[in-house]
Amino acid sequence: MATSHNIRNICLLGHGGDGKTSLAESILYLTKGTDRLGKVADGTTVCDYDPEEVKRQISISAAPVPVSYGKVKINLMDTPGYFDFVGEVLQCLRVADSGLVVLSAKGGVSVGTEKAVKMLDEHKLPKMFYISKIDEENANFDKTYEDLRAQFGISVCAVTMPLVEGGKITGVIDIVRKKAFRINGVKDEEVSIPSDAVDKMEQLRSVLTENVAESSEELMEKFFEGEEFTDEEFINGLREGVKNGSVCPVFCGSGFTGAGTFALLDGIVNYAPAPQGDPAGQPSAIVFKTISDQYGKFSFFRVMSGTITSDMTLENPRTGTKEKLGHIYSVKGKKNTEITEVPCGDIAAVSKLSDTKTGDTLSAIGSGIVHEGIKFPEPCYSVAIAPTAKGGEEKIASGLARLAEEDPVFTFEQNVETKQLILSGIGDIHIDVLRSKLKSKFGVDTVVSIPKVAYREKIRKKVRVEGKHKKQSGGHGQYGHVWIEFEPAPGAEDLIFEETIFGGSVPKNYHPAVEKGIRESMQRGVLAGYPVVELKATLVDGSYHEVDSSEMAFKTAAALAYKAGLAQASPVLMEPIGNLKVTIPDSYMGDIIGDLNKRRGRILGMNPVDGMQVVEAEVPMAEMSTYAIDLRSMTQGRGSFVLKFDRYEEAPPHVQQKVIEERQAEEN
């Protein structure tokens, strides 16, 4: 069994399509973790085994994969590069001890690279880089490496570089050990360094040496005295530099040929930090990912202290419930291997936890150990979702509830007012994948539309109106008669109801019926049928009949007065206004402000935060339904935003007109 110092938990991050999954596949194949090299295009990789991933040829779900290399166990976590699935990346970052940012030698530093570095910095995790696809046409290792240094600083240093033989890239040169390795099938063979590569290697090594020297006083002294570091000093200095962030090593290679894969594995073993935690402490773990399928629920966890064994009973501090761990598994893609114990720092999965969610702690009963959970982003893109066939609503709701066990980033709720089921996620691809899963896993076809906006109506002037309900139809008739004053009540969400009746023209026992008649009527305004707010109604007069008056008759009379009165009281439509905070790089400021003006936004201010600009504005919610997608395309994915409902305010006349016409067309 692996022990803490022989474990490496490393997260693969980077832009979609930059080669993370292919690299993981190469590592698995060359360490004999699989017997064939899977390909993303063929849908045969270990990490992307979900039908949705095979179909789309992208990673959707994070896949922790165990790799054995020498005496070390590496838990590789392949994460999606598409921003819609950032929740999966955050799950893995919570349990990783370092991150490897993968970027392509063809595409160079992309938005995904920037975001990956930012996330690693936010989680205070050491970072390493891997330049992929070095053997492909138009690949440029040198330019990509220089761009990395220009963007992320002098801590970025190459530890390997491409080995070029006969005009072709056949392997890599290890800059630390001054050795060249050519990939030959499933193994590396050492070859001599080509004479035309020596100068460049020495140049890169001197940059690296300078950074390594900063990792300790002894090495700094040696460096100034012009002494060479031994291999051991170099490796120890690099490890220390990676840990404290003064060195970010850059590897390179090809997932397709396997060039550079062994050098990367050696680097992960030698330079990446081992997990922290007390192996002799009380057992505790954090659940960082859940997979829910037709066979049940699988919870991935990392042991934070002690050792966890199968059949152990632990406590969930969030719920106070006890969870018996039955079968524990080591999971590699679709393949599960049962194991009996998991040491401190290691990752495994357990089936059938009854009351534990992603982000929860499991710890020894009575130990009081609680680990920090996982902070997920707020969903920012919403659609109304409905079944294509009648009666599928139940299926959608139960299917989404099951999918929410796996994906804590989306939300869904029934909007009582608009009678729509609203599904909210990170973006359109996220929503699209959820719909595909509803179909494949739960057999329900869905359609989506822009959610209806919950407008309100109010009046602007005071009116006094009569409402009379009189019916005679043999036996008891119906009689209710009221005079009511309606007036605006600014700021009041609820109806303000008063009465100033003198002389019992409407007996007290009918007053609640009058109030009820108005309250029920307020659910539908007279302009476009939206609820009415900021209303005061005063019952001032009326009359009754000894025999024919009833609560029902007065309720109806009040409703008639409401309908007549509101139409005369200068009614207007109110729209919801949201408070928006958009975080963007400075260079997009003009585009963002221009776009917000088109959306009828009011700019409140701008503040610089962490090298970005935060623009604060008030915007009508009706203009923001596609903002998540629009902002992404305006900023190439660099922008983010938070939008919160603030208040209602009167809509401009042209907007009112449009909403009223749309509502009439809907109801006809």
Residues 251-263 pLDDT 10s? 999 999 999 999 9
- Given a contact cutoff of 8 angstroms between Cβ atoms, the answer to whether 248 and 100 are in contact is no
More confident residue, 56 or 338: 338
- Given a contact cutoff of 8 angstroms between Cβ atoms, the answer to whether 328 and 283 are in contact is no
Question: Tokens standing for 372?
Answer: 């920090």
Q: Residues 18-38: what's their mean pLDDT?
A: 86
Residue type, 570: S
pLDDT band at residue 468 using 50, 70 and 90 as cut-offs: very high
Question: Tokens standing for 417?
Answer: 């007012």
Looking at the predicted structure, is the pLDDT value of residue 93 above 90?
yes
- Given a contact cutoff of 8 angstroms between Cβ atoms, the answer to whether 78 and 59 are in contact is yes
Q: Residues 339-358: what's their mean pLDDT?
A: 93
More confident residue, 530 or 473: 530
For position 294, what pLDDT does the model report?
A: 62
Q: Residues 588-614: what's their mean pLDDT?
A: 92
Question: Tokens standing for 594?
Answer: 């221009």
For position 364, what pLDDT does the model report?
A: 95
Q: Residues 572-589: what's their mean pLDDT?
A: 94
Q: Residues 32-44: what's their mean pLDDT?
A: 76
Looking at the predicted structure, is the pLDDT value of residue 44 above 80?
no
Condensed to tens digits (0 to 9), the pLDDT of residues 469-487 reads 998 766 678 999 999 999 9
Q: Supply the mean pLDDT for the chain.
A: 91
Name the strand (E) or helix (H) holding 633: helix 627-635
pLDDT band at residue 48 using 50, 70 and 90 as cut-offs: low
Looking at the predicted structure, is the pLDDT value of residue 526 above 90?
yes
- Given a contact cutoff of 8 angstroms between Cβ atoms, the answer to whether 429 and 632 are in contact is no
More confident residue, 229 or 41: 229
Looking at the predicted structure, is the pLDDT value of residue 307 above 90?
yes
More confident residue, 37 or 360: 360
- pTM recorded for the entire structure: 0.87
More confident residue, 465 or 612: 465
- Given a contact cutoff of 8 angstroms between Cβ atoms, the answer to whether 487 and 459 are in contact is yes
Q: Residues 637-652: what's their mean pLDDT?
A: 92
For position 82, what pLDDT does the model report?
A: 82
Q: What domains are there in the chain, each with its CATH number? A: 4-271 (3.40.50.300), 284-363 (2.40.30.10), 381-449 (3.30.70.870), 457-569 (3.30.230.10), 573-666 (3.30.70.240)
Condensed to tens digits (0 to 9), the pLDDT of residues 608-642 reads 987 889 999 999 999 999 999 999 999 988 899 99
List Cβ neighbours of 179 (8 Å cut-off, separation of 6 or more).
Answer: 173, 190, 193
For position 49, what pLDDT does the model report?
A: 64
Q: Residues 369-384: what's their mean pLDDT?
A: 93
Instruction: Give the relative orientation of helices 217-224 and 198-213 as an angle to the nearest 10 degrees.
Output: 130
How far apart (Å, rounded) are the C-alpha atoms in residues 280 and 284? Answer: 11
Residue type, 190: E
How far apart (Å, rounded) are the C-alpha atoms in residues 215 and 203? Answer: 20
For position 474, what pLDDT does the model report?
A: 64
Condensed to tens digits (0 to 9), the pLDDT of residues 168-181 reads 999 999 999 999 99
pLDDT band at residue 295 using 50, 70 and 90 as cut-offs: low
pLDDT band at residue 418 using 50, 70 and 90 as cut-offs: confident
- Given a contact cutoff of 8 angstroms between Cβ atoms, the answer to whether 28 and 20 are in contact is no
Looking at the predicted structure, is the pLDDT value of residue 154 above 90?
yes
Q: Residues 65-74: what's their mean pLDDT?
A: 94
Question: Tokens standing for 559?
Answer: 């409703």
373-384 residues labelled b (16+ CB within 10 A) or e (exposed): bbebeebbbbbb
More confident residue, 475 or 83: 83
pLDDT band at residue 183 using 50, 70 and 90 as cut-offs: very high
Beta-strand pair 248-252/156-158: parallel
For position 637, what pLDDT does the model report?
A: 87
Condensed to tens digits (0 to 9), the pLDDT of residues 265-293 reads 999 999 999 999 899 999 999 999 998 76
